[in-house]
Every structure is written in structure tokens, then in C-alpha cells.
Chain A
Amino acid sequence: MTNHPLTCKEILQQINLLIDGELEAELCDQLEKHLRECDNCRVVVNTTTKTIELYQEIKGQDQLPEDVRKRLYLRLNLPEPRRDL
């Protein structure tokens, strides 16, 4: 990151927008150009994106346990909807 430290820092300040695809077109072009030429920033952006993806993928392992669900409907005194989606 020694070649253009200011620009790298700026890139990382925009990392949220970059990841969420909310950058204005003009700024986006500049950033994309930088990312093509700067390995370090590209790695940071890619690994941050991958980090988020991994968390989204493992979300499924924390489903509501069946017994917890049953007790919830019991406590709320509601009939359990059928789960045949």
C-alpha cells in the first residue's frame, strides 16, 4: 500500500458502499480502476465480501429448534401452523 497510500485509505473508507453496490457511477469507475491496479485493496475488498458471504451461508445452521418452536406456540396459546411449504 506504499505507492498511493491516500488513495488506498480512501478506498477502504468507501468499502461499505463498494460492497453494498451503492456507489455513484463516477466514483465507482475510479475505484474499479484502482482495484484493478492495486492488489492489496482488491484482496481486502474480496476477503471482506467473502467474510459476509460465509456468515450468510452459515445462518442456516441456526434454525429455530423444533422443541423451542413448539413451546413458543404453547406459551402464546396459538395453534402451530403446519410446516408444509
Chain B
Amino acid sequence: MDRQSTGTNDISLDALRSGSREAFAQLVERYSPSIYRLALRITGNSQDAEDVLQETFLKAMNALSDFQGRSSVSTWLYRIAVNESLMLLRRQKRANTIPVELENDENQDGESETLEIEDWCCLPEKELLSSESRAFLDQALNQLSPRLKMVFQLRDIEGLSIQETADALELTEANVKTSLMRARLKLRELLTGYFHEKLSGRAA
């Protein structure tokens, strides 16, 4: 698995800080897809995700001269995007909205005693990645609490390190590890339930 951290090595921090438009455009080009995916994941809505995307880079542009460099530029961008997304959700909060805090969700998200055991790895790629399966994967991830969702998105989908994920979400590394394990096992369980039906369908 590709576990490279998302570095900004070849984008010069000095150029960014001194206001180089070219360097900033490079930053936008590199990180806009993952910032957009993250915002879409949190807000669940493409219009909101676009607003978050624009606000994130506008804020970054205005604040770059103050950027301390304690974390990487990318982590800093993710942090802005997470805060913007949560702020937007809070503003729209209606009676039926999902909880928007990065609350601690210990003992939620099913640490079930019994694990579903079904080896569905053998299903052909065609079935694992059918459009129906893709829709299910998306839906399964959206069932997780905001915190598990974001940890999984940043670490396992966008490929940030544990430390970068912790920095971006302002959590401890220990919390990230625990949430990551919960998210992975919960998703595995949901997918097992889903692919179980595919397997029994084949056997029939």
C-alpha cells in the first residue's frame, strides 16, 4: 500500500510566504482534489464542498505570511478545511442533522464481540468495484461518526501519516490510532455484510 506522506517538498515555502502566485497556484493544483473530497465527505453536499474548498484556499492565501511551519503546509490546509466544514455544518444545523463535533465516540460504532467471518476477497474485481459496490462503499463510510469518517478519509484514503492526521484534526496520535482501528473494523464489517450476499448469490 502506498503510505507516502503528502509532502510539499518541491513547492518552496519561502516563495509561498513571499506571496508568489505561481507557487500558490501549484499548491492549489496539488491539494484541491483531496481538500474537495474531504469537504464532500464531511458536508455530504457538493455545493457546500465547493464553498469549503474556496474558503480554505482564500484563508490560506491571506494567512500564509503568518504560517509558522510547525506542521506541513498540507496539514495546515487540511486543518483549515476541516474547521471550515464543521463551521458550515454548525451554521446549517437543523433538528435532523448529524452531530458535528469531533466528539469522542468511545464505545460507539460497534465494537461487537463477534466478528463476521466471511472471506470475500476472492470475489472478482469486476464485482468488488461494480457501480453498485462503489455506491455501497460510499454509503458505508458515511455511516461512521464524523470523527471516524475523517480519520479514515485522511489516513487511509488520502494517505496522510498518523501524525499528519492527528495534526490536521487536532487529535492526539493515540486517538487517531484508536479511531482508525474502529473505522477499519466497522467498514470491514459493513462490507462483509454486503459482499456476503454477493457470495451467497453466486453459490445459489
Contacts and interface: CB of A to CB of B under 8 A. Distances in A.
B5 to A, nearest CB: 13
A76 interface: yes
Interface string A41-71: 0011011101111111111011111001101
Given A16-B184, A43-B119, A63-B33, A79 B25 contact: yes
Contact of B121 (A19, A50, A59): A50
**B interface majority secondary structure:** helix
A62 B188 CA distance: 21
Band of interface residues on B: 35 or more
A64 B192 contact: no
A16 to B, nearest CB: 5
Contact of B118 (A43, A59, A76): A43
Contact of A71 (B50, B120, B177): B50
Band of interface residues on A: 35 or more
B117 A51 contact: no
Given A54-B191, A55-B156, A81-B25, A40 B36 contact: no
Nearest to B54: A75
Interface in B26-72: 26, 28-29, 32-33, 36-37, 40, 46, 50, 53-54, 57-58, 61
Given A40-B115, A46-B121, A59 B37 contact: yes
A55 B137 contact: yes
B129 A72 contact: no
B137 A71 contact: no
A28 interface: no
Contacts of A44: 115, 117, 188
A49 to B, nearest CB: 8
A20 interface: yes
A54 B128 contact: yes
Given A40-B117, A59-B157, A52 B137 contact: no
Interface of B: 1-3, 21, 24-26, 28-29, 32-33, 36-37, 40, 46, 50, 53-54, 57-58, 61, 115, 117-121, 128-129, 133-134, 137-138, 141, 152, 156-158, 177, 180-181, 184-185, 187-188, 191-192
Interface of A: 1, 12, 15-16, 19-20, 39-40, 43-44, 46-48, 50-59, 61-65, 68-69, 71-73, 75-76, 78-81
